[in-house]
Amino acid sequence: MLTTDETLPNTRMNNYLLKVTCFFWLPAKLIGWRLFTLDRTFPSAPVFEGLNGIPAAVHAGLYLVSLSLLVVLLKAKKNRLFLCCLLLTEICSCLLDQNRLRAWEYQCLFIVFIFILSARNQKLVTVAFAFILASTYFYSGLGKLNPGFLQNIWTRMVLEMFLKLPPSTASLTWLHYSGYTLGCIELLAGAGLLFPQSTKTSAKVLIAMHVLILIWLGPLGLRYNRIVWPWNLAMIGYLYLLFLKKDSPVIHFGNITTGWNKVILIFWGILPALNIFGYWDSFLSLGMYSGNIPGMVICIKDTSKCRPIKKFFRKDKSNICNGYEMVNLQYWAISEMGVSAYPELRVYRQFQRKLEKEYPAAGISCIYYADGKRLP
């Protein structure tokens, strides 16, 4: 058993961590209100197709309950019943639409989970929380070590769009491949959180990374993907509280195999590695801005039969659709919901079935691709 002296600092720390989570989770859900409701034309993707008939009012109801619980948890002392209700509400919402299972949403679900099941041992909460952070950075950095990140994120979004470098300069070999250093730094800093000797240095490096991300994506930069702005601020708060604050607890990661923390070890330490072999989803493996997610193009023969999505048509510069109108799935998702579609082929095929059923006379066909190659 922990003594009172051991428990109090951890209790205070965990209360701060929970408040930070609720404080920044709330605006993310407000920004992404179309994602969490069905007030949109973009199709939902329930985990089980039998859930397709659930009324829009249920989606909206779950969203409002979630917002209410976050407000209550911000104002009230930590309450296990409220946390259980929040976890159940969010799981139901994500079951109704996998698009909602963003990396930050997935992280918040597990944060609530550890607060519920390890509440009697405050040290275990802190250990699990810190391990989730370390895993997030490690696998996010690992996911960036691919050619898609260099081309789509580093060269196009950072060098050309943000820094305004001409393509001839951005494509210089040394500058192009220097993008890999970002993934390496994030990966190493994430691993560094696990070792007392490198904890503070790693936390400072990661905080600087989040500041740069906010400058890059925020109001002073590309003004892109607003829904992740609160998450980046929350991560700065987590790093400061757990690793840099003067009275931050000493974290012993040997406790990650104790009690319910075994679940955290499995879902955050082991399963994300399976994404390398295609056996675990990208978003659940913290593949943020990896640049290598699969894509989907929707080709439409008769546009008069699907007028609700007409505003998302784009010019087919590559003649992918052989002269027919084209809709890029990710462009549609970002334009309407402010986030990308859930990047898994099984979800894309579910979208295709839905579109073919909703617009049977439009002559819809879909093309899938990954790593620059067309998929069957």
In 10 A of CB 266, how many CB atoms? 10
Q: Tokens for 107, please give them.
A: 């992280």
pLDDT on residue 9: 61
Check whether 49 has a pLDDT greater than 90. Answer: no
Check whether 239 has a pLDDT greater than 60. Answer: yes
SS3 164: coil
Instruction: Give the separation between CA 327 and CA 314, rounded to whole angstroms.
Output: 6
pLDDT on residue 355: 94
Check whether 8 has a pLDDT greater than 80. Answer: no
Higher pLDDT, 88 or 245: 88
Closest CA to 162 of 232, 209, 214: 214
pLDDT on residue 323: 82
Instruction: Give the separation between CA 261 and CA 130, rounded to whole angstroms.
Output: 11
Tell me the per-residue pLDDT of 58-100, one tens digit each, with 9 for 90 and over: 999 999 999 999 999 998 776 889 999 999 999 999 999 999 9
pLDDT on residue 370: 85
Check whether 108 has a pLDDT greater than 90. Answer: yes
Instruction: Give the separation between CA 175 and CA 168, rounded to whole angstroms.
Output: 11
Q: Tokens for 303, please give them.
A: 């546009």
Q: What percentage of the chain reaches a pLDDT higher than 70? A: 97
The structure tokens 């607890």 sit at 249
Check whether 5 has a pLDDT greater than 50. Answer: no
pLDDT on residue 78: 67
Strand 373-375: give its sheet, edge to edge.
Answer: 325-328, 295-300, 364-370, 373-375
The segment with the largest mean pLDDT, out of 8-17, 240-249, 343-352, is 343-352
Check whether 328 has a pLDDT greater than 80. Answer: yes
